[in-house]
Amino acid sequence: MLFSSIINYKINEKKIIFCNFILIKKKIFNLKLKKKLYKRMLNIKQLIFIFFNINYWKKINFKNLSLIITIVKNNIISNIDGIFKLLIISKGYKRNNEINLNNIFNNLYNLIWTNLGCYEVNNFIKLNLIKNNFTIESIDKIPFLSKFFIPKNIRISNTNRVRLGSFISKGTTIMSEGYVNFNTYIGYNCMIEGRVSAGVFIDNNTDIGGSASIMGTLSGGGKNIISIGKNCLLGANSGIGISLGDNCIIEAGLYITSGVKIFLLLNNKFIIIKAKKLSFINNLIFYRNSINSRIECCKNTINLNTINLILHKN
């Protein structure tokens, strides 16, 4: 699928140092162009079609404007292309893990993100901008979500802990210690106080407790995408490397990876099973036996809809 955006920008030394996406077209359809095209004025859609077909779709510059075109299945080719792809996810035009973000850190370079825009590092030093009372927010390849997009009806206590490329649904609260990486999806009315790593999908009404961690696709998880169902609870300082179904609970302080041996209570008897075999199964509670320290799992009978109702009203 092809996406386009018209951005305005300011330049210094022929390098874009600040840009703002002002228009996104969700779908671009092939147009039938008439003969003697050179005699006709072209609109934006026709320009996109022509440049795409002659394989010159990276960036088209006009005076104080730039037409950016990106293809979701292609590799990232520049910082602007990468930021645009992440913005597409944050706006909900494509779900996380549906856009090609392979080798994103190899194809982007660090920028200095300030309260007035972003600057290339060398440009920033040459212009001696550090004396101009700028507030440097980060030196990174990916900006905060709030630099380019603010979702409706959400609460974020610390905006610099939510990266562009995360999709946050209505009613969700992200507390000060919560962290949401790019290429993530968070459903309605969730409470995030832990870490949501890249690639993770979280469904509606789920709580991620303080300092809890979800294994992502960037470090340790590989291509294993973690999904958490509706009405789940990860206790404080817990963590998972498996997917959860609906109405599941992980006890505080308990970290479960795919190879961990679980004592599953089935028909009043415990059987030993690898944790990954329990992925996507609903109504489970995982806990550590305080007497023998083994990790056990049984059916969850707790109604999580009644937990922290006030906190979920953001």
Tokens of 147: 């630099």
Clarify whether 193 is annotated catalytic. yes
Distance from C-alpha of 167 to C-alpha of 74, rounded to nearest angstrom: 21
Cβ contacts of 56 within 8 Å, gap of 6 or more: none
Query: CB-based burial of residue 301 (10 Å sphere; 0-12 exposed, 13-18 middle, 19+ buried)?
Result: exposed
Q: 70 φ, ψ to 5°? A: -140, 150
For residue 132, the SS3 value is coil
Catalytic option among 13, 120, 193, 296: 193
Say how many residues make up the chain: 314
For residue 62, the SS3 value is strand
> Are the beta carbons of 124 and 118 closer than 8 angstroms?
no
Tokens of 137: 């927010």
Taking CA 102 as the corner, what is the angle to CA 96 and CA 103, rounded to the nearest 5 degrees? 135
Comparing C-alpha atoms, which of 134, 10, 182 is closest to residue 125?
Answer: 134
Distance from C-alpha of 96 to C-alpha of 198, rounded to nearest angstrom: 9
Comparing C-alpha atoms, which of 133, 135, 170, 130 is closest to residue 150?
Answer: 170
Contacts 24+ apart (CB under 8 A), 109-114: 109/79, 109/141, 110/139, 110/140, 110/141, 111/79, 111/139, 111/140, 111/141, 111/143, 112/136, 112/139, 113/137, 113/138, 113/139, 113/140, 113/143, 113/144, 113/147
By annotation, the residues acting in catalysis are 193
